[in-house]
Amino acid sequence: MSNDLLDIDPIDLQFPFELKKQISSSLYLANKTDNYVAFKVKTTNPKKYCVRPNTGVVLPRSSSEVLVTMQAQKEAPADMQCKDKFLLQCVVASPGATAKEVTPEMFSKEAGHRVEETKLRVVYVDPPRPPSPVREGSEEGSSPRASVSDSANVSDFTAAPRFSVDRLEPQENSSEARALITRLTEEKNSALQLNKKLQQELEQLKRESKRSQSGGGIPFMYVLLVGLIGLILGYIMKRT
């Protein structure tokens, strides 16, 4: 798709849809004139997408990339259809213009500026999958396309945010793993403390036995304590 100033590729923004995952799609703008061309990207759903850069300048006979990122979605849309749309506005800028010099007034038709506008649809496609050894009976090569007309008014679009705000929620299995590690660590520390205490009592018992026993014979309490320590050490080795 193209207008008098820029060639735009692709004609639709395609996102390989996956739940709870940020997905990005690139938009390439090629300046086919000898002028500096300023552009601005708008969307009908600014909270759902972020665009970098959302405004800029394409130098004469050169190209620029615009990265559109869709925030992580918690629910899949019905029939994988998306009604979101993007609007790309472009206008001839002054020679040597930079992205910092791009202002909203440059895209105002009321001010007499000649603004080129191109509408882009959002299309959800299936994420890439590893090849299956089983040959499917029917082909499913066609991707669902957004059933949205190009009749949307310019007033329906809002400037796309430059940066992402939302964050991915931690997965439940990660939380469970951290909780299990914490519990095992606490049990290990408790067992080590108990082992240390028993060793101290064993040393004290040895000293008392030497004072009370004049010769041979091992006290029954000493044998019992040694066996208990062995069981605790075995438990620690299994848990770690």
Angle (CA) 50-19-23 rounded to 5° is 35
In the numeric block, the tokens 């979101």 are attached to 84
- DSSP label at residue 224: H
Q: Name which residue leads in pLDDT, 180 or 97.
A: 97
CATH superfamily of 6-125: Immunoglobulins (2.60.40.10)
pLDDT digits (tens, 9 = 90+) for 16-50: 999 999 999 999 999 999 999 999 999 999 999 99
pLDDT digits (tens, 9 = 90+) for 72-120: 999 988 888 999 999 999 999 999 999 999 999 999 999 899 999 999 9
Closest CA relative to residue 89, chosen from 56, 44, 61: 56
Does residue 127 contact residue 17 with C-beta atoms inside 8 Å?
yes
Domain boundaries defined on the chain: 6-125, 180-212
Structure tokens at 214: 């004049």
Strands (E), 81-190: 85-93, 116-125, 158-159
Does residue 17 contact residue 72 with C-beta atoms inside 8 Å?
no
pLDDT digits (tens, 9 = 90+) for 111-160: 899 999 999 999 999 888 767 665 555 444 444 444 444 556 666 777 77
The pTM score is: 0.56
**Cα-Cα-Cα-Cα dihedral sign, residues 118, 93, 35, 52:** negative
Q: Where are the alpha helices (DSSP H) in the chain?
A: 172-212, 220-239
